[in-house]
Amino acid sequence: MIAALLLLSFATAGNVTTPEQDFEQGVSLRENARAARESFARAARGFDRAWGESPSPGLAVARGRSHFLAGNLPQSLAALHAGLALAPYDAELQADLRAVRGTIRYPEPADPNLRVRPDEWGGLRSRVSPWDAYFVGITFGIVAVVGSIFFFTTRPRWSGVVAIVGWVGVVASAALAWKIGNTEVRPVAIVTTDTVLRRGNGTSFQPRTPEPLPRGTELWEVGSRGGWLQVELPGGAIGWVPEQTVLK
Amino acid sequence: MFATGNRAVLFLLLLASPTAAQEFADEDAPAIHQARPNFYNAVGGRNLKVTWSAEPTTLSVDSELTLTLTVSGAVNPQRVRRPDLAAMPAFKSRFQQITAGTDPPVEKTSPRVTFTYRLRPRDESVRDVPELQYDYYSTATGKPETRYLDAIPLQVTAAAVVLPSPLPLDGPPRLFRLPSEAALQSRTKHDPNWWHWRGLLVAMILAVAGGVAIWRLRNPNGRRFARVRRHRAVRNALDTMDRASESLEPLALVSSALRRYFWERHGLPTVASPGELETAFRAAAIPAERIAPAVELLRKIDAARFGGDSDNALSLIALARELVLTWEGVE
The DSSP-derived string for A24-86 is HHHHHTTTSHHHHHHHHHHHHHHHHHHHHHS--HHHHHHHHHHHHHTT-HHHHHHHHHHHHHH
Nearest CA in chain A to B230: A155
For residue A128, name the pLDDT band (cuts at 50, 70, 90): confident
Q: Of the residues A134, A161, A181, which one is the last residue of a structural domain? A: A181
The CA distance from A100 to the nearest CA of chain B, in Å, is 8
Residues A243 and A208 in one domain: yes
pLDDT for A141? 96
Whole-number Å distance between alpha carbons of B166 and A38: 14
B187: Cβ–Cβ under 8 A, 6 or more apart, which residues? A54, A56
In a domain, A8, yes or no: no
In a domain, A96, yes or no: yes
Q: State the DSSP code for B29.
A: P
pLDDT digits (tens, 9 = 90+) for B53-112: 999 999 988 889 999 999 998 888 888 888 989 889 999 999 988 888 877 788 878 888
Residues A197 and A241 in one domain: yes
pLDDT digits (tens, 9 = 90+) for A50-92: 999 889 999 999 999 999 999 999 999 999 999 988 888 888 9
* B179–A144 CB contact, under 8 Å: no
Whole-number Å distance between alpha carbons of A93 and A78: 12
In a domain, A60, yes or no: yes
Domain harbouring A19, CATH code: 1.25.40.10
In a domain, A5, yes or no: no
Residues A97 and A79 in one domain: yes
The CA distance from A221 to the nearest CA of chain B, in Å, is 27
In a domain, A77, yes or no: yes
Query: Would you call B29 exposed, middle or buried from its count of C-beta atoms within 10 A (0-12, 13-18, 19+)?
Result: buried
Residues of B in contact with A155 (CB under 8 A): 226, 229-230, 235
* A181–B191 CB contact, under 8 Å: yes
User: Using an 8 Å Cβ cutoff, are B138 and B47 in contact?
Assistant: no
* A144–B204 CB contact, under 8 Å: yes
Selected residue of A129, A153, A162, A168 to mutate for chain B interface (largest B Cβ count, 10 A): A153
Domain harbouring A224, CATH code: 2.30.30.40
Whole-number Å distance between alpha carbons of B177 and B174: 6
A111-133 burial, b if ≥16 CB within 10 A, otherwise e? eeebbbbbeebeeebbebbbeeb
pLDDT for A119? 84
In a domain, A109, yes or no: no
In a domain, A114, yes or no: no
Q: Of the residues A181, A208, A228, which one is the last residue of a structural domain? A: A181
pLDDT digits (tens, 9 = 90+) for A28-42: 998 888 899 999 999
* A149–B215 CB contact, under 8 Å: yes
CB-defined contacts A:B, below 8 A? 131
Q: State the DSSP code for A111.
A: S
In total, how many domains does chain A have? Answer: 3
The answer for A155, left when phi > 0, alpha when psi is -120 to 50, beta otherwise, is left
Residues A83 and A139 in one domain: no
* A58–B180 CB contact, under 8 Å: yes
Residue range of the domain that includes A174: 126-181
Strands B95-100 and B155-157 come out as unpaired
In a domain, A193, yes or no: yes
pLDDT tops 90 at residue B219? no
3-class DSSP state of B135: strand
Residues A59 and A133 in one domain: no
User: Using an 8 Å Cβ cutoff, are B238 and B270 in contact?
Assistant: no
Residues of chain B that touch chain A, judged by Cβ-Cβ distance less than 8 Å: 166-172, 174-180, 182-189, 191-192, 196-197, 200-201, 203-204, 207-208, 211-212, 215-216, 222, 225-226, 229-230, 235, 239
Residues A173 and A196 in one domain: no
pLDDT digits (tens, 9 = 90+) for B165-218: 677 788 888 899 988 888 888 776 677 888 999 999 999 999 999 999 998 888
Q: Of the residues A63, A85, A101, which one is the last residue of a structural domain? A: A101
Residues A163 and A97 in one domain: no
pLDDT for B14? 42
Residues A169 and A147 in one domain: yes
Residues of B in contact with A143 (CB under 8 A): none
Residues A142 and A214 in one domain: no
ipTM for the complex? 0.78
